[in-house]
Amino acid sequence: MLYAVASMWLKKLAALELEEKILNGGLCLAIVGIFLPWIGGRPSLIDTTTRMYSGLGFHTGFIGLTVLALLLFTLLITVVPLTSGKTLVRRHLRPTVRLCTTALSTILTLAALSVLLKVTLESPGMEVRFGVYVSLVGCLIAALYGFLAYQEDHRRQTQGMFQYPPPEPKAPAPTPVQPARDRPDVPPGSNVPPPPPPEEHPVPRPTLPYR
């Protein structure tokens, strides 16, 4: 039963467009990067213990938690319709919502990276780790393809606004009925009744005045 559900879900996932797959792949990459080390080293000269902090720890924990919530929400926009058939966001609003969430995630990740770089300048024992770069690359990929999807949706809406309905076909003109005697398909001498003679209307004669 579980295998059948998993195979059906994978088929639905494979049926997505290439842009959708890359966008959601970037989201997954960014989510994984949040749980990887973002900064590590010795916090001070007195404390010689090497410490590692993920995106949910250290001074950037609140930023990392916000980025994680935005990324999960954007990923659920695709996952929920595939699993339950329900829509989390209406179809015509998906490109706009995805563009906003992925762009905001990228900006927040850049802000977190700037904070970590400032910490490394103040504490020489601390170093920026690869996790923040993984999250940044994933957010950039998702934001790029979110922008492309938004442009494509905007182009379709513009074409739909200026697309006129095709003209209705005109009814064919009625073919005049040809008399039987003038029709070539009627052989001579056939029992076809002759056309009725024209009606005669009597012309009134003028009356002379009585003298």
Q: Tell me, what's the pLDDT at 44?
A: 73
Domain presence at residue 93: yes
Q: pTM score > 0.95 for this model?
A: no
Contacts with 63 (C-beta within 8 Å, 6 or more apart), sequence order: 55, 108, 109, 111, 112, 115
Helix (H, G, I), strand (E, B) or coil at 163: coil
Strand partners, 126: 41
Residue 34: CA atoms inside 13 Å, Cβ hemisphere, count? Answer: 24
> For residue range 63-120, what is the model confidence (pLDDT) as tens digits?
999 999 999 999 999 888 887 777 888 888 888 999 999 999 999 999 999 999 998 8
Tally of domains within the chain? 1
**168 in any annotated domain:** no
The domain containing residue 26 runs over which residues?
18-161
Q: List the end-to-end C-alpha distance of the chain, in Å, as a whole number.
A: 121
Task: Give CB contacts under 8 A, 24+ apart, made by 115-118.
Answer: 115/59, 115/60, 115/63, 116/38, 116/39, 116/58, 116/60
Please indicate, yes or no, if residue 79 is contained in any of the structural domains.
yes
Mean pLDDT of the chain: 80
* Residue 89 in domain: yes
> Shortest CA distance to 132 belongs to which of 155, 147, 115?
115
Helix (H) or strand (E) holding 85: none
Task: Decide if 173 is inside a domain.
Answer: no
Indicate which CATH number applies to the domain containing 93: 1.20.140.150
Residue 94 counted as domain residue: yes
| Inside any domain, residue 150 | yes
List, run by run, the mean pLDDT of 10-residue segments along the chain (211 residues): 67 79 92 94 77 88 94 91 79 89 95 92 88 95 91 77 62 59 54 64 60 48
**Which pLDDT score is estimated for 14?**
74
Strands 37-41 and 126-128: antiparallel
Q: Is residue 6 part of a domain?
A: no
Q: Alpha helix (H) ranges present in the chain?
A: 2-14, 18-34, 61-83, 94-122, 130-161
Residue 51: its H or E element = strand 51-54
